[in-house]
Amino acid sequence: MEKIIVNISGGKEQVGEAWIWRLSREFNIKVNIMKANIDQDYGWLQLELEGPLEEVQRATAWLHTTGLHVDPIQRSVGA
């Protein structure tokens, strides 16, 4: 199992989208919101994504297509 922590931020357009819901529904990963600060015009989150390596990679690649700024913070591979 792969576990990665990412910081994600976005502007007004991204704040109104249900991309966290899509992330948890369309990929075989567990999504944990560790920290967040969101208002109408801007938001940022620190997410922990956990799951099979391929799914975590697919999910992070998809996040990059949403217009969000995605910055990996920490990565660990479990046994």
| Side chain identity, residue 17 | E
Using the predicted structure, report yes or no on whether residue 33 has a pLDDT greater than 70.
yes
* Least trusted range by pLDDT, from 14-18, 43-47, 50-54: 14-18
CA–CA separation, 77 and 25 (whole Å): 22
Both tokens assigned to 72: 């990996």
Looking at residue 78, what is its pLDDT? 53
Q: How confident is the model at residue 79 (pLDDT cuts 50, 70, 90)?
A: very low
pTM attached to this predicted model? 0.84
Q: How confident is the model at residue 16 (pLDDT cuts 50, 70, 90)?
A: confident
Can you tell me whether residue 77 is helix, strand or coil?
Answer: strand
Residues 6+ apart with CB under 8 A from 16: none
Residues 6+ apart with CB under 8 A from 37: 43, 44
Domains of the chain, each with CATH number or no CATH: 2-77 (3.30.70.260)
